[in-house]
A and B are shown apart, each in its own frame.
Chain A
Amino acid sequence: MIFHPLGKYILLLKAVFRRPEKWNIYRSEILHEMVSIGVGSLGIIAIISLFLGAVTTVQTAFQLVSDFIPKSVIGMIVRDSAILELSPTISAIVLAGKVGSSIASQIGTMRVTEQIDALEIMGINSPGYLILPKIIGAVTMIPLLVIISIGLTITGGYIAGTASGAVTGEDFINGITSAFIPFTFTVSMVKSVMFAFIITSVSAYQGFYTDGGALEVGRSSTKAVVISCIAILFTDYVVAQLLL
């Protein structure tokens, strides 16, 4: 049951990476997608990151009841949680909802209104023209969003920790600057690139093979988000298992 859609997905990707008809047209499409995915998602990523950091700090402080554990550990936990899990994974799940559903509905609408057929008739490789710029746009911009998210999560943690008195500013800074393993950042970037690819390719696949009308476009959009989220969490586990 899973092999037929998997085969179609691989064949679609093969068509996506076929040589573009004209690079300068693709270049402007890539820039457009970078702005749409990157700048367009900055607001929501900023908001969720600040709150994630705040909640992580408050809850970690609540659980650290022993006097033998220094308060700077809170900063350390917030930093490592942000780098390894919160920023790449939660951002990716939010982006699957925002960017993924938008890609699926955009391409799905183009399918049901025969715009994709029109591209094919002109002799244009429609998967390449429609999907490749989105994949490149996401793979370049989502890691940048994750880096911003890491910074904002830690900032949110600092603000909430100091404001609630759960941890002093000095302890928090001590925590985030001590015992840092740079490899965790590499893992975070590997995850974000893979998640970006999953979000765009899975959503584009769902949109590209939409069959029917407006109702099916909505269904494709929902399926794109659900499948992307499951694939993100599965990949998250595999990457963690392999790299850590």
Chain B
Amino acid sequence: MIKISNIHKTFGENHILKGISAEFKEGICNLIIGGSGSGKTTLLKCMVGLHEPEKGSVIYDDRNFTRMNFQSRIEIRTEIGMLFQGSALFDSMNVEDNIMFPINMFTDQNHKEKLERANFCLERVNLTGKNKLFPAELSGGMKKRVGIARAIAMNPKYLFVDEPNSGLDPKTAIVIDDLIQELTVEYKTTTIVVTHDMNSVMGIGENIIFLHEGKKWWEGSNKEISQTDNIELNEFVFASKFMLALQKK
């Protein structure tokens, strides 16, 4: 479980996060949603330590991440897997080396064991046999799947996913969402997904946090989201004609 309390973050004069507190449970997909500029990605980056919040704390299973030094943070970071918006695969490495990279760095496994693990992760994301391809040779959806394979290579306890469906067609987006949910249940990870894709919200949003103007505006599940009378959330959820038609039905 990850618990955040009273997170504040400013960039120059811009107060992006204004005291956000929340709990993210393990074994379910926790979604952070909100419009562009609402602070979703900033919150995610504060949680993993890519940004330092000015105030507040991030606690990973009773371990206060915000108060840790660099060395202690490494311990937690080896338990974290993250899929970035642009996948962030290493251009100079092929698919296999990308997946084996964290294993190379933090374990003493021999090459055969590492290769077995890489092949297992590739099989898990339905990319068997694509070991020798380079990121430049992959489609957007394949890049995301390789990103997921790399994220799960070290058996993470915490999985962070930033905009998994950006730039993907709806069909591939559903495949990625399903994969994230399957992995969450299978490995009992604490999964946090930042998204503004309503298909993801309705499909995998077991616990949803809605951010608006840097504050937590609403919290609930995908079953509750369409019945809420929260004006800002309704404006966000029913911005598309498709969702509006769905609501009228």
Interface residues of A (CB under 8 A from B): 21-22, 25, 109-110, 113-115, 117-118, 120-125
Q: Interface extent on B, as a size class?
A: 20 to 34
Chain A min CB distance to B95 (Å): 15
Q: Is B74's beta carbon under 8 Å from chain A?
A: yes
Interface centre among B50, B85, B88, B160 (most CB of A within 10 A): B88
Q: Give chain A residues whose Cβ lies under 8 Å from the Cβ of B3.
A: none
Stretch from B55-63, B102-110, B233-241 contacting the other chain: B102-110
Q: Which 6 A-B pairs have the closest CB atoms?
A: A123-B77, A123-B74, A114-B88, A118-B88, A114-B84, A121-B82
Interfacial residues of chain B within 85-123, with CB under 8 A of chain A in the complex: 85-86, 88-91, 101-102, 104-106
The answer to whether B105 touches A117 (Cβ under 8 A) is no
A115 to B50, CA, bound (A): 12
Q: Is B48's beta carbon under 8 Å from chain A?
A: yes
The answer to whether A117 touches B84 (Cβ under 8 A) is yes
Q: Give chain B residues whose Cβ lies under 8 Å from the Cβ of A125.
A: 70
A123 to B74, CA, bound (A): 5
Q: Which residue of B75, B88, B90, B102 contacts A117 across the interface (Cβ within 8 Å)? A: B88
Interface centre among A120, A122, A125 (most CB of B within 10 A): A122
The answer to whether B86 touches A123 (Cβ under 8 A) is no
The answer to whether B77 touches A113 (Cβ under 8 A) is no
Interface residues of B (CB under 8 A from A): 45, 48-50, 70, 73-75, 77-78, 80, 82, 84-86, 88-91, 101-102, 104-106, 154, 160
Chain B min CB distance to A115 (Å): 5
Chain A min CB distance to B158 (Å): 10
Q: Give chain B residues whose Cβ lies under 8 Å from the Cβ of A118.
A: 82, 84, 88, 90
A137 to B89, CA, bound (A): 24
Q: Which residue of B75, B78, B86, B104 contacts A114 across the interface (Cβ within 8 Å)? A: B86
A117 to B83, CA, bound (A): 11
Minimal Cβ-Cβ distance residue in A for B153: A122
A39 to B226, CA, bound (A): 63
Chain B min CB distance to A174 (Å): 51
The answer to whether A122 touches B77 (Cβ under 8 A) is yes
Given A21-B106, A25-B104, A120-B50 in contact, is the A115-B77 Cβ separation under 8 Å? no
Q: Which residue of A113, A117, A121, A123 contacts B106 across the interface (Cβ within 8 Å)? A: A123
A20 to B20, CA, bound (A): 36
Q: Give chain B residues whose Cβ lies under 8 Å from the Cβ of A113.
A: 86, 88, 91
Minimal Cβ-Cβ distance residue in A for B75: A123
The answer to whether A123 touches B84 (Cβ under 8 A) is no
Given A113-B86, A114-B86 in contact, is the A121-B105 Cβ separation under 8 Å? no
The answer to whether B105 touches A21 (Cβ under 8 A) is yes
The answer to whether A124 touches B84 (Cβ under 8 A) is no
Chain A min CB distance to B152 (Å): 13
The answer to whether B104 touches A122 (Cβ under 8 A) is no
Q: Give chain B residues whose Cβ lies under 8 Å from the Cβ of A114.
A: 84-86, 88
Q: Give chain A residues whose Cβ lies under 8 Å from the Cβ of B74.
A: 123
Q: Give chain A residues whose Cβ lies under 8 Å from the Cβ of B70.
A: 125
| 15 A–B pairs (Cβ distance < 8 Å), ordered by A | A22-B104, A25-B105, A109-B91, A110-B91, A113-B91, A114-B86, A115-B88, A117-B88, A118-B84, A118-B88, A120-B49, A122-B78, A122-B105, A123-B74, A123-B80
A165 to B239, CA, bound (A): 84
Q: Give chain A residues whose Cβ lies under 8 Å from the Cβ of B86.
A: 113-114
A109 to B91, CA, bound (A): 10
Q: Give chain A residues whose Cβ lies under 8 Å from the Cβ of B104.
A: 22, 25
Minimal Cβ-Cβ distance residue in B for A32: B92
Given A115-B90, A115-B91 in contact, is the A122-B102 Cβ separation under 8 Å? yes
Q: Give chain A residues whose Cβ lies under 8 Å from the Cβ of B89.
A: 115
Beyond contacts A25-B104, A122-B77: 19 other A-B pairs, Cβ-Cβ < 8 A, are A21-B105, A21-B106, A109-B91, A114-B84, A114-B85, A115-B90, A117-B84, A117-B88, A118-B84, A120-B49, A121-B80, A121-B160, A122-B105, A123-B73, A123-B74, A123-B75, A123-B78, A123-B80, A123-B105
The answer to whether A22 touches B105 (Cβ under 8 A) is yes
A68 to B154, CA, bound (A): 78
Q: Give chain B residues whose Cβ lies under 8 Å from the Cβ of A123.
A: 73-75, 77-78, 80, 105-106
Chain B min CB distance to A211 (Å): 11
Given A21-B105, A22-B104, A22-B105 in contact, is the A117-B50 Cβ separation under 8 Å? yes
